[in-house]
Amino acid sequence: MEPLGSEETAPLDRELTSRTIRLTAAPDQRVTLATAETPRTFWAAPGEATVVGSGSATTIRADGRDRFQAVQDAARELFSVGDVHAGALAARPRLFGGFSFHDEHASAGPWGGYPRAKFVLPRTQLTYTDDGTWLTVNAVDTDAERVERRLDAEVERLRSISSPDAGRGPPGIVDRTRTTSEANWRRSVTAATDRIAAGELRKVVLAQALRVTLARPLLLSDTLSRLEERYPDCYRFLIEPDDGAGGFFGATPERLVGRHGRTVETGALAGTTGRGETPEEDEWLAAELLADEKNVHEHELVADAVRTQLEPYAASIRAGERAIRRLATVQHIETPITAELADDVHVLELVEALHPTPAVGGLPPKEALRTIRDTEPFERGWYAAPVGWFDAAGYGSFAVAIRSAVARDDTATLFAGVGIVADSDPDREWDEVQLKYRPILDALE
């Protein structure tokens, strides 16, 4: 694991100092994000505060196979000493970031600046809640007066920001390049179903990547604003590399895990169909999805695996009623799952236990991951991996980074995948992948 660091490596004998005040007025989230320092972070989730992070007070990175534990250990050391005045629970200092999908991820190509694990403690954190807006300044610095001066300066900067305009609109797409041809896709799906028939696999999730060239560089603040308009009940996120050249962003419907106190919330999201042209067609498609043997089987594989993965940590587990989750372009089968922890377990332990779920990996896990590595002609990077935040108490919220893209300059690479089971049809699965590109494509063109 690399040591803690911001522009320079932060010595571990220095304390975390954090100061928070409530703002009487603040620019909206899009303008705050557009004017933030790099690296920027953004997090918005159903039932949670929205947070815009500016700059880095310190960054935790980990590249070994023990990356989940390494991040947890470094964070425990960071939070163990310090002078933290949070002002409000929602405004407490938090580390934002994520992990690569595969343990052996290479930080190269579009994934330059994204190691196997990276979490940023923002230098400035603006937290939007139903009860108001909070400004937090964090520093790995024992000089509390300097932090107070920085807080005052940030208040003045926010006051000086002009009123928001309407934004520039989508950048537009001038070229598209697929990593997987339809012919190769059919061969890959057929090979996977043959392995399932032979008993080597029960399910595997295969993905595609689509590289698009934009008419002009991407304004991620505007892009996330457009995603908010169409996907307000999804987990919207941005994690930038240290140099701020682009970013990994998305609007994912899939929660991995959330922990507050001893309560853990997760779920199964698998099985997909499109949206209807009318409410009646919408209902018909939803009913067909819930009755479809292939999709229900795929969904139950995920739900059973999530419950099994939680059992070692839980005093009790309860699954809610299976239902339809409607998004702007697709409908999914969803089963919410809630657990009460038997002991005090850090959210990162739960993240490690649940990743990857069969909704983005497969079963058995090791064989599915091997199949993904052997089949996909691109690097997944952080796609379909855990992204989110955690705090000093070990509480946190993580989503599965699907419906996502990584951007740099005038290029963005989009990702989408589907679950392959015994009776999967290559052409139907191809069409489903194209449907899952739509959230990001619609925000770009």
Centre a 10 Å sphere on the Cβ of residue 163 and count the other Cβ atoms it contains. Answer: 7
Cβ pair 98, 386 in contact under 8 A: yes
The answer to whether residue 254 is catalytic is yes
Residue 153: how many other CB atoms lie within 10 Å: 12
The DSSP output letter for 378 is S
DSSP code for 112? T
The strand pairing partners of 127, in sequence order, are 51, 134
Q: What stretch of H or E contains 223?
A: helix 220-230
CA distance 236 to 417: 18
**238, 40 in Cβ contact below 8 A?**
yes
Give yes or no: 366 in active site. no
From 15, 118, 203, 352, active-site residue: 203
Any idea how long the chain is? 445
Q: How many CA atoms lie within 13 A of 86 on its CB side?
A: 10
Catalytic residue among 15, 154, 240, 254: 254
Q: Which of 416, 410, 414, 401 is nearest to 357 (CA)?
A: 401
Give the Cα separation of 174 and 10 in Å (integer): 43
List alpha helices for 81-176, DSSP H: 144-160
CB contact at 8 A, 270 and 301: yes
In the chain, the N- to C-terminal Cα span, in Å, equals 40
Nearest CA to 222 among 169, 178, 181, 177? 169
Q: Which residues are catalytic?
A: 203, 254
